[in-house]
Amino acid sequence: MYLDLEKGTPWLYIAKNQVGPEFIYFTHSVDGPVAAGHNRGRYGQETIFALRKVFDRVEFVEKNTSIYFDPQNPLAKARNANISQAILASESIVAEDADGVLVAATNLFLRETLTMVKFGGGEKSVLGRLSEPKTKIMRINGYPKNTAVIAEYVFDNPTPSGKHDEDITDARYITVQVQHTLIAMPESDFKPRGDDPRIGYFTHKITDMTSTDVAPYRDVIHRWNLVKQKPGTALSEPVEPIVFWIENTTPVEFRDTIRAAVLKWNEAFETAGFKDAVVVKQQPDDAKWDAGDIEHNVLRWTSSVNPPFGGYGPSFANPRTGQILGADIML
């Protein structure tokens, strides 16, 4: 990703080996009023997309991850029948070299192309019409396996109706910040685990179109990729523990209590054979990373004149496998 620092125009360079493979797209709210549904840390949905070069354009195609066909079944030859593809965007190639192509990213990140910023609600919505001149890219964060684009959307409503909360300075002009994250498909030996309807899990729903069962489901549960350092032992530390960071915005007097409460989960993980599966660390005041980055799982402390919850623990997972890729706890 590139940002023209003079005009604010975003550009996306696509390497040739990035055309075809699948990527994960995830979004969450960086900031916004509660009434708009964009309180800090609100998670959106995670989806799978792929890039496809068609003539002199690049298409961004969202994949349908809710349907499965057994590749050994003849019906798999008709796996694309009666399914609508979601072509999110089609961008003209403006430049090309031996390694890849360049496309404009304005339509991707400064419009509601990849995700809805203004949710349903009709006339009751506090958000008006998206102001394209005011909407802009705030920053771009690049990491080895993902890229985060933080965009600020401004909605104009010249005739707002009703009262509004104190977190809205002027109901005619409401600002929402959203982070778009593009993630390389994880490469690991993670094995998906099927859902058992007798037990409550967060899942990704998958219907097996080649099954004759009355309940033809292959739903995968969301779970962390915990692997024992010492396979075969009754109790072992994990190769990579689940690390949560206490955000530096958290009042000092509450930090020890929060740490102790989170570490209490280790008792549950011990019954599954893992010792010290959960680790809690403190985000330094001079940390160079932002609590909203998916590189870190964060226990976040925020304030609101109209709190939408007392506690909220969202996570996001790979829709193909159910592997949890990140999580936050909003306090």
Domain boundaries, the chain: 2-184, 225-330
Residues 6+ apart with CB under 8 A from 163: none
Using the predicted structure, report yes or no on whether residue 123 has a pLDDT greater than 70: no
Model pLDDT, residue 292: 78
Query: What pTM does this model have?
Result: 0.94
Specify which residues 152 forms β-bridges with.
136, 177
Model pLDDT, residue 267: 98
Using the predicted structure, report yes or no on whether residue 144 has a pLDDT greater than 90: no
Of the pLDDT bands very low, low, confident and very high (cuts 50, 70, 90), residue 162 is confident
Model pLDDT, residue 77: 97
Average pLDDT over residues 154-182: 93
Q: Give the strand pairing for 146-156 and 173-184.
A: antiparallel
Model pLDDT, residue 283: 97
Average pLDDT over residues 222-226: 97
Average pLDDT over residues 298-314: 87
CA distance 197 to 215: 11
- Mean pLDDT estimate for the chain: 94
The answer to whether the CB of 249 falls within 8 A of the CB of 301 is yes
CA distance 320 to 107: 27
Using the predicted structure, report yes or no on whether residue 124 has a pLDDT greater than 70: no
Of the pLDDT bands very low, low, confident and very high (cuts 50, 70, 90), residue 184 is very high
The answer to whether the CB of 183 falls within 8 A of the CB of 146 is yes
Helix (H) or strand (E) holding 266: helix 266-271
